Amino acid sequence: MKTLLNVTVTAISLFCIMAFTSIKVNQKVEKTSESLNPNPIDLKTTSIEITAPKVDIEIKDHSAFLEAIGHFESGNRYTVVNRYGYMGRYQFGKSTLTTLDINVSKKTFLNSPELQEEAMHKLLLHNRKSLKRFIEKYEGTQVHGIHITESGVLAAAHLAGAGNVRKFFRKGYEFKDGNGTKMTSYMKIFSGYQLDI
């Protein structure tokens, strides 16, 4: 009975370990007529080699969000101007800067990383305030097949504007920018970040 109990405990332990790691078991089997199990596991001669898998944990915090969206927009270069005239690390247009009360020359904006970071912070706050009702109602749910998170919604608003994000929630509207980038792709790519705003 004791042997059966030992075998049961060992089997349960091995099952739990196998669920989380890769296991190689080397065992010597002794045959005995007295055992209830024809192939008992001898715990004294069994060796278990456990290899834990390498796990890469992505920390999705506010700075990681800025790094990711900056990389996507401009390769994180502050001095870039695209063919449509969008400027800097986060590719701001003049009208967006005017909305944020940032009225400076193109040269001044491109030569000031601090001003560009301030503009991004202001835009995130502006869009969160504008879309607060939708974020509170839908965060953590699926809408038109898209998993909704605050960071995904604010990234989509960065690309398409808060008005187009509202149209998405109300009618399933899909916006594409001049390069063909879909608003909903931003909702997916930039979802799940913890924003510090």
Question: Is the model's pTM score more than 0.85?
Answer: no
- Burial environment of residue 32 by CB neighbours within 10 A (0 to 12, 13 to 18, 19 or more): exposed
CB 87 within 8 A of CB 81: yes
DSSP reduced 3-state for 57: coil
Over range 93-120, report the average pLDDT: 97
- pLDDT for 84-106, tens place per residue? 999 999 999 999 999 999 999 99
Question: Rounded to whole angstroms, how far apart are CA atoms 165 and 173?
Answer: 8
Torsion on CA atoms 137, 193, 78, 102, rounded to nearest 10: 30
Model pLDDT, residue 52: 66
Task: List, in order of start, the domains of the chain with CATH numbers.
Answer: 2-51 (no CATH), 62-189 (1.10.530.10)
